[in-house]
Structure 1
Amino acid sequence: MSTEAIMDAFDGEQEVELTVTGRKSGRQISHPVWFVQEEQSMFLMPITGSDSDWFKNVSRTPMIRVAANGTAVNAPATPIIEPDQVDHVVGMFRDKYGAEQVTSYYPKHDVAVQVPLG
Structure 2
Amino acid sequence: MDNDQFEKRVRFLLHHLKKMSREMPSDLRQRVPYELLSSLAANLAQATVLAEAGFRDSAPELPKPVSNTDKTTGKYVWFGQVSDQQGTLEKAGVPGFFVSSKPVEIRVQMHLLEFILKLRSIS
- TM-score (structure 2 length as normaliser): 0.31
Higher strand share: 1
Larger radius of gyration: 2
Where relative contact order (Cα < 8 A, 6+ residues apart) is larger, the structure is 1
